[in-house]
Amino acid sequence: MVVGEMPDGVDLLVVGGGPGGYVAALAAAQLGRKVVLVDSTGPAGLGGVCVNVGCIPSKALIELADTVHDRKAWAQRGVSTAGIEVDMGAFQQWKGGVVSALNNGVRSLLKAAGVEVRTGYFRFSRPDQGVLECQDGPPIHLRFESCIIATGSRPVHLSTLPHDGRRILDSSDVLALERLPQSAAVVGGGYIGLELGTALAKLGVEMTIVEALPELLPGVGSSAGTIITKRLRNLGVTVRTGTKVTGDDGARLHLDTPDGPDALEVDTVIVAVGRIPNTDDLGLDALEVAPNEQGLLEVGPDRLLTPRVAAIGDITPGPALAHKASAEAHVAAEVLSGHPATFDPLTISAVVFSDPEVAVTGLTAEDASESGYEVDIASFPLSASGRARTLGEDLGSAYWVFEKGSGTLLGAQIVGPHATELITEAAVAIEMGANLEDIATIIHPHPTMSEALAEAALVGLGRPIHVPLRR
């Protein structure tokens, strides 16, 4: 021990206050542990990126955009929509209230559970100890019995598009805009780029989405990407796939397209090409562990890095999703508290708040085939859904991926209204080992969007009602 180093003793230390960290702290406290949670922004950062500058603010912006756009769409249904105006300043005040309420809610839960929250950057210095660097005071040494790392991720910044917060923005910058640009380009056609690009287009911004790969939403499935692309073009969004960005000169975004070099004049450039795990400044050498090539910490089903230290959330392999982090948090807290637990879900649903919404769970047909299953797909188009029609929607579908013969459900995808709310039925069915017959014989209420899953199951059984029999 260094002379003068007087460590504070901590029973269970949680590093990071996001959806993984604060859930881990609460779960550990419920198991009788004395918990200290440290976050670089302290109590103000509770809820993490998700609550403060990610999931919640983005969905607030999307709801605003959908409301404005839907009112215009209702004009042909007999509703006068003249005089709609958007005040982004007022929106930001309202959004701030939403974020503050959720942040305060997390703070209250931690306080009630007896969790101590401290502010500072934490780095490991030994296998059972680290240093909390505080902005307004000397560093504090903390020795822990157990530790859960939940430091999350941050937006990727491109060297060809240096972030300045004025012209070159990241997703957090967009969600804080007090004034909308006249034109913008989103670099990245994944879920973040699509959500932001669609919302801004609905608010009247002239939008272009640039994606280096051949289709939008890479990895989700070509059918979803095709439907989304069609809707974006209906919204007036220019979609440029197979196109790379080579730089920006302050007025024009320079592109490398399949037809050669090109340039795009836009007011704002939004970089949404992914996120990078926050594992590069944790002092991991002291634990004798190192991130992999993607910067992720490899963990087993017990989420342990060492006998004392667990890692969860965006810093571990798998989808970087808040609900995955929260689920892992329970496992880590239980394992470090001496209880048997493993993280081994059959499925982790992913949702995209695009237009229409996209939700997927379980295996894709390709993944299922590679895993050795003899696979089939059963699809039901939303153009045949009465409820979708009343919502003014005819694009989209629901489909099941299932094993031939047994009909066991392996995966599902929904593209359409409320897909993000509906996908959990499919996830529960897969986790419970259900088959097509189980879903088809459950009586779904009419008229609802949930009927699409039952109708797709009937298609797979060869007994369709509202679409023709497959030949």
Q: Give me the long-range contacts of 91-95 (CB less than 8 A, separation at least 24).
A: 91/60, 91/61, 91/64, 92/176, 92/177, 92/178, 94/60, 95/57, 95/60, 95/61, 95/175
Neighbours of 135 (CB within 10 A): 10
CB 266 within 8 Å of CB 184: yes
State the Cα–Cα distance between residues 427 and 433, nearest whole angstrom: 10
Is 315 annotated to bind a ligand? Reply is no
Give the three-class secondary structure for 255: strand
Cβ neighbours of residue 219 closer than 8 Å, sequence gap 6 or more: none
ω into 261 cis (within 30 of 0): no
CA dihedral 56, 62, 63, 65 (to 10 degrees): 150
Q: What are phi and psi of 39, to 5 degrees?
A: -140, 145
CB 70 within 8 Å of CB 42: no
- Give the helix/strand (H/E) hosting 387: helix 386-390
Give the angle subtended at the CA of 30 by the CAs of 29 and 33, to the nearest 5°: 40
Sign of the dihedral defined by the CA atoms of residues 431, 434, 436, 442, in that order: negative
State the Cα–Cα distance between residues 64 and 52, nearest whole angstrom: 17
Give the three-class secondary structure for 139: coil
Q: Which of 460, 428, 423, 454 is nearest to 441 (CA)?
A: 454
State the Cα–Cα distance between residues 128 and 123, nearest whole angstrom: 11
State the Cα–Cα distance between residues 434 and 426, nearest whole angstrom: 9
State the Cα–Cα distance between residues 50 and 53, nearest whole angstrom: 6
Is 283 annotated to bind a ligand? Reply is no
| Residues involved in catalysis | 446
Neighbours of 210 (CB within 10 A): 26
Is 274 annotated to bind a ligand? Reply is yes
Binding residues: 59, 151-153, 188-195, 211, 274, 314
Binding residues for NAD(+): 188-195, 211, 274
